[in-house]
Amino acid sequence: MEIQSIKNRFGIIGNSPALNYALEVAATVANTDLTVLIYGESGVGKEVFSQVIHALSARKHNPFIAVNCGAIPEGTIDSELFGHEKGSFTGAVDSRKGYFETVNGGTIFLDEIGEMPLGTQARLLRVLETGEYIRVGSSKVQKTDVRVIAATNKDLLEYTHKGRFRQDLYYRLNTVPIRVPALKDRREDIILLFRKFAADFAERYKTPSVQLDDEAKDLLIHYPWPGNVRELKNIAEQISVLSQDKLITARQLSQFLPEHNNNRMPVLAGGSTNVSHAEFANEREILYKLFFDMKKDVTELKKMFVEILQNPQRAAAAAAYTQESLLNDYRQQPAEREMPTVVTPPALTSAAPVLINNHNDIYEHEEVEESLNIMDKEKELIVKALKKHKGKRKDAASDLGISERTLYRKLKEYDINE
């Protein structure tokens, strides 16, 4: 069948080489039973290609059904595809046929196949390999003769590397790949599509069809179209309904196009106040990340404190090394820089020196006279934690960063009466 007649039959607009090639592959493979995997961004019209394949195949008089795998909850997708027996799960008041049973002899289009759960993927692989399946809650093997066409806007090969998609199923589905080009890759078709959509909406709403001037056409062609043909159709409908003028200028068109900014970096303070919503969203994401990083740092500090309590000798050595490093760094800094105050943590060494900044580049040592016995400090912390939480061991242990079992052992060890 000629490509142009296929376009006319299914309302496909465009003459780009990539689109024509995809249609040629679809027409060639249609009259076989090979599994087809259609790639393409969201909104490019992947379902239309599945309809083309079914309509040109020997199964064209049998059922065709499109299933969006991403729209079915994980707990019910097996039942939807393969059916279930009465009482097999809560709410299964009757037996139910699945799509692979009702579409027997026809074609099933599985859109967003990358969202299918791994357990369902194993069942689907069995259908593709042997034509067999089992209803949920049943042990009886049933046969089906269904052609599977799948589609995705994800990189399934990358999903296999991450363990989110079965590698054997990927290669079984990818028997014949068809790539539907994005609208930004077929810019020569954008004006043709807009004219078609504008004419359709003019007929629907009984209004004159809108036209674009040269500058508006240029703006339309160079817009990135992240939503592809679906987005272009929505824009054409908005203009047809809302525009008072029927000859659209670039300025008028820009009011209907969402703001697009390739620069996704946050705006620096003192910069322009004309900030897009996307940039605000990006800054918010960065702040969230900072908060999570801070939380992680606090967790690490808690772990370090527990290690200090459990191994005072190693902690004292680490403190001495840190102090010496700070002194060395200071000696290499300009003279006008002030020396930071460095205090060796208590409970690490006896009579540990404390460096005091007197702002005159003179540094004295003070002796810490209080007892720094690690066992005394640990006992003191435990007693404080128990008082704080009114004797509740679980809360006290959580506050100290130790297990309740460890706290119980410490209570016996230090003979602490609650």
* β-pairing verdict for 342-343 and 354-357: antiparallel
pLDDT band for 350, please (50, 70, 90 cuts). Answer: very low
Phi and psi at 316, nearest 5°, equal -65, -40
Instruction: Please answer whether residues 83 and 171 qualify as being in contact, where contact means their C-beta atoms are separated by less than 8 angstroms.
Output: no
- Residues 44 and 102 placed together within one structural domain of the fold: yes
Is 266 part of a structural domain of the chain?
Answer: no
CATH number for the domain including 380?
A: 1.10.10
- Residues 170 and 24 placed together within one structural domain of the fold: yes
> Would you say the pTM of this structure is higher than 0.85?
no
Q: Which among 149, 181, 213 is the end of a domain?
A: 181
pLDDT value of position 93: 82
Residue 242 has pLDDT above 60, yes or no: yes
Q: Which two tokens stand for residue 191?
A: 């004006």
Of 34 and 379, which is predicted with more confidence? 34
CA distances from 7 to 48, 59, 152, 325 (A): 10, 20, 22, 74
pLDDT value of position 354: 42
For residue 354, the SS3 value is strand
Average the pLDDT over each of 81-85, 130-134, 239-243, 317-321 and give the range with the smallest value.
Answer: 317-321
Of 131 and 362, which is predicted with more confidence? 131
- Residues 127 and 192 placed together within one structural domain of the fold: no
Unique residue bearing structure tokens 């027409």? 27
Please tell me the distance from the alpha carbon of residue 146 to that of residue 142, in angstroms, as a whole number.
13
Element at 148 (helix H, strand E): strand 147-152
Is 13 part of a structural domain of the chain?
Answer: yes
Q: Which among 131, 163, 181 is the end of a domain?
A: 181
Please tell me the distance from the alpha carbon of residue 82 to that of residue 123, in angstroms, as a whole number.
9
CATH number for the domain including 188?
A: 1.10.8.60
Is 316 part of a structural domain of the chain?
Answer: no
Average the pLDDT over each of 272-286, 295-309, 310-324 and give the range with the smallest value.
Answer: 272-286
How many structural domains are present in the chain? Answer: 3
By CB neighbour count within 10 A (0-12 exposed, 13-18 middle, 19+ buried), where does 99 fall?
A: buried
CA distances from 2 to 53, 58, 157 (A): 14, 18, 33
Cβ atoms within 10 A of the Cβ of 3, count? 16
- Residues 134 and 177 placed together within one structural domain of the fold: yes
Instruction: Please answer whether residues 108 and 99 qualify as being in contact, where contact means their C-beta atoms are separated by less than 8 angstroms.
Output: yes
pLDDT value of position 368: 46
- Burial string for 51-61 (b: 16+ CB within 10 Å, else e) reads bbbbbbbebee
pLDDT value of position 87: 85
- Residues 177 and 190 placed together within one structural domain of the fold: no
Of 131 and 418, which is predicted with more confidence? 131
Cβ atoms within 10 A of the Cβ of 181, count? 21
Identity at 260, one-letter amino acid code = H
- Residues 36 and 126 placed together within one structural domain of the fold: yes
Range of the domain at 109: 3-181
Of 133 and 405, which is predicted with more confidence? 133
- Residues 199 and 173 placed together within one structural domain of the fold: no
Please tell me the distance from the alpha carbon of residue 407 to that of residue 413, in angstroms, as a whole number.
10
Q: Which two tokens stand for residue 272?
A: 């322009």
- Residues 197 and 112 placed together within one structural domain of the fold: no
Q: Which among 225, 254, 283 is the end of a domain?
A: 254
Residue 199: alpha-carbon gap to chain centroid? 38
Sign of CA dihedral 367, 371, 373, 378: negative
Average the pLDDT over each of 99-108, 147-156, 273-282, 338-347 and give the range with the smallest value.
Answer: 273-282
pLDDT in tens, 354-377: 444 444 444 444 444 555 567 777
CATH number for the domain including 27?
A: 3.40.50.300
